[in-house]
Amino acid sequence: MSRLDSLWARTAPPGPDCPPLDGDTETETAIVGAGFTGLSAALRLAEHGVSCCVLEANEIGYGGSGRNVGLVNAGLWLPPDKIEAALGKEKGEQLVSALSEAPDRVFELIDRHGIECEATRNGTIHAAHSPAGRRELEKRCAAWSALGAPVELLDRDEAAKAIGTRAFHGGLLDRRAGTINPLGYARGLAHATARADGRNAGARIFAGTPVSGLSASGTGWVVETPRGRVRADKVLLATNAYGGGLGADAAYTPIHYFQIASRPLGEAGAEIIPGGQGVWDTAPVMTSARRDRAGRLILGSMGRLAGRLSERWADRAARRLFPGLGRLEWECAWHGRIALTRDHLPRLLTPAPGLWAVMGYNGRGIGPGTVLGRWMADAALGGEPPPLPVHEAGPDRLRPVRAAAFETAFRAWLTLKSI
């Protein structure tokens, strides 16, 4: 029985059986966290014949990987020109190019391993909530078009047809992107990672195994868990916004995003996002909308779930966007944690030899987690780490204050939009 109560946990095929670690063991690389980052790294290492084990406190995909909207987007939250401005031309180009192809990597893995995750590759649409939002999309379109990316501005009528609402002032269709059931993808990655065959040494995955401490020992590390220790040459922390107590949390501020799924719409929903794209808007407190394969409408926005208030928000949002649907019944609601960094770029942490972390995806982690996890595995094999800013600062005492301020602002917005 899954402890993860997202729609995806109700609809994704099960993952592999991963009993907790019981007893001491040794491995070349220990990976903490079984989301996209940790599993992608483990898969890459296993394919290189490196012994590797994944330690997961809860279950596969328990973090953001099993709770997100499922938009497999290219790039990061920041547009490519701003990434280059932040990282410099060479590193910026390297990162933008790798992450521009991130949806290719995700859909290749899905195809190669036959992962059942409702994969649909018809693009995603960033919708303009206002004329200013439309101008922002024009800039994003120009920046991506200059790099030859297959992006296209939709005018108001085209956006209305693609999304099924006249609420938006246009949109940016990115044909590289698509949608998935994200937990299905995480569970499928876990199957692929654990399956030893001629091309894969097979990683060991231990769920229900919280890592409570790490200590340097000789040239390697000892990883503490409740019922056993792991002695490893190298350790990768892949805990993103769900890491507690392992020293990597100061790199980001945790914020929340919630979603609510309707019952399947049936024929009444025929004109709502008929192409199956995922949609999110340019508003400062954004709204997302997508369908799943059963035809549910899934709406989302910033902040924690707030019981009846979130439902009232969803009623209002559905009426505003899709008035023809009438009153909807909501079947499932959940939220998850996002790791927000000040400059919206992920972070690399290298606190000691043989210990790394990569995190801070700012709500854009399906493609980046897949690509950067694999990149970290290549770094463990002797390659260059990804060209990300390195987090070196110590504890961040203002972090809880910032997190509370965001949450208060989101709750105020939710209340305002629910009246």
Window contacting ligand FAD (CB under 6 A); options: 130-138, 140-148, 366-374, 391-399: 366-374
Yes or no: say if 100 and 75 are a contact pair by the CB < 8 Å rule.
yes
Beta strand extents in 115-162 (DSSP E only):
124-127, 151-154
Window contacting ligand FAD (CB under 6 A); options: 170-178, 263-271, 365-373, 409-417: 365-373
**CB nearer ligand FAD, residue 87 or residue 180:** 180
**CB nearer ligand FAD, residue 71 or residue 306:** 71
Question: Hey, which residues between 57 and 76 contact ligand FAD (CB under 6 A)?
Answer: 57-58, 62-65, 67-71, 73
Please state the closest distance from residue 2 (CB atom) to ligand FAD, in A.
Answer: 12
**CB nearer ligand FAD, residue 88 or residue 184:** 184
| Phi–psi pair at 218, nearest 5 degrees | 60, -125
d(CA 251, CA 341): 7
Please state the closest distance from residue 278 (CB atom) to ligand FAD, in A.
Answer: 7
Q: Which of 67, 400, 56, 386 is nearest to 243 (CA)?
A: 56
**Please, which residues have CB within 8 angstroms of residue 312's CB and are 6 or more apart in sequence?**
418
Please report which helix (H) or strand (E) contains residue 110, including its range: helix 102-112
Please state the closest distance from residue 255 (CB atom) to ligand FAD, in A.
Answer: 9
Please state the closest distance from residue 267 (CB atom) to ligand FAD, in A.
Answer: 27
Buried b (16+ CB within 10 A) or exposed e, 332-360: bbbbbbbbbbeebbbbbbeeeebbbbbbb
Asked if 56 interacts with ligand FAD (CB under 6 A), we say yes
**CB nearer ligand FAD, residue 200 or residue 288:** 288
Asked if 361 interacts with ligand FAD (CB under 6 A), we say yes
Amino acid at position 92, single letter: G
Window contacting ligand FAD (CB under 6 A); options: 56-64, 80-88, 92-100, 193-201: 56-64
**CB nearer ligand FAD, residue 123 or residue 365:** 365
**CB nearer ligand FAD, residue 297 or residue 338:** 338
Please state the closest distance from residue 261 (CB atom) to ligand FAD, in A.
Answer: 12
Asked if 243 interacts with ligand FAD (CB under 6 A), we say yes
Q: Which of 308, 314, 309, 312 is nearest to 289 (CA)?
A: 314
> SS3 of 168, please?
coil
Asked if 364 interacts with ligand FAD (CB under 6 A), we say yes
Of the candidates 79, 103, 164, 369, which one interacts with ligand FAD according to CB under 6 A? 369
CA atoms in the 13 A half-sphere facing the CB of 146:
10
Yes or no: say if 260 and 300 are a contact pair by the CB < 8 Å rule.
yes
Residue in the block written with tokens 């590797």: 52
Number of residue whose CB is nearest ligand FAD: 365
Of the candidates 151, 172, 180, 246, which one interacts with ligand FAD according to CB under 6 A? 246
CA atoms in the 13 A half-sphere facing the CB of 226:
9
Residues of this chain that interact with ligand FAD (CB under 6 A) are: 32-38, 55-58, 62-65, 67-71, 73, 210-211, 238-244, 246, 257, 336-338, 361, 363-367, 369
